[in-house]
Amino acid sequence: MVSKTFRVFYQLIPSALGQIGMLWVQKNAAPLIIHILLPQKDIPIIQTISKNWPGVLEQSHEKLKKLCLQIQNFLEGSPVSFSLELIDMTLCYDFQKKVLLETRQIHRGKVICYGRLADRILAPGAARAVGSALARNPFPLIIPCHRVIKSTGYLGNFGGGSEMKRFLLQMEGVPSNAREKIGPEYFQK
């Protein structure tokens, strides 16, 4: 959770997938995003926000408008290059930061397996730890954890659910077969 010295705000972003919640704090007169919440089946996003961040206030910020528009464009299928300028990674632990920053290097239209991602951050054999770090990714979409799959080609887990992971990958040009398996030609080298 965020230090009690910072007031937490949220902004809702309408999308084809449902409302996305963006939680942010203000530090040195600038908004910093601390969490992006993807819609969950049968649970209103505002309910999740209120439960996990009591006392949070709905408020927009001029500097967040561009990012909100980028998220909407991304979910409509447009290629978007997200900046980390407004992202507050101070609550991420060191290993997780390495995983998240390397995950940003996965190209649109490609996937990588957990073990290969572990190798890339010089942590061979740490596929499970990579999966745990991604499971706690506070910035889905901006940090494209949906592009990380099992070495077998199967989708694996995703905070927004397997249907959303499949949708995001297909939107980016990575189809899965009827068994939800991705072909080797989509793996990033």
The structure tokens listed for 168 are 């995001």
Q: Judge whether 45 and 58 are in contact, CB under 8 Å.
A: no
Answer yes or no: 92 catalytic. no
The structure tokens listed for 185 are 């030609």
Give the C-alpha separation, 159 to 83, whole Å: 21
Catalytic residue among 68, 92, 113, 145: 145
φ, ψ of residue 109 in degrees (nearest 5) = 85, 5
**33: number of Cβ within 10 Å:** 21
The structure tokens listed for 136 are 């706690």
Could you list the active site residues? 145
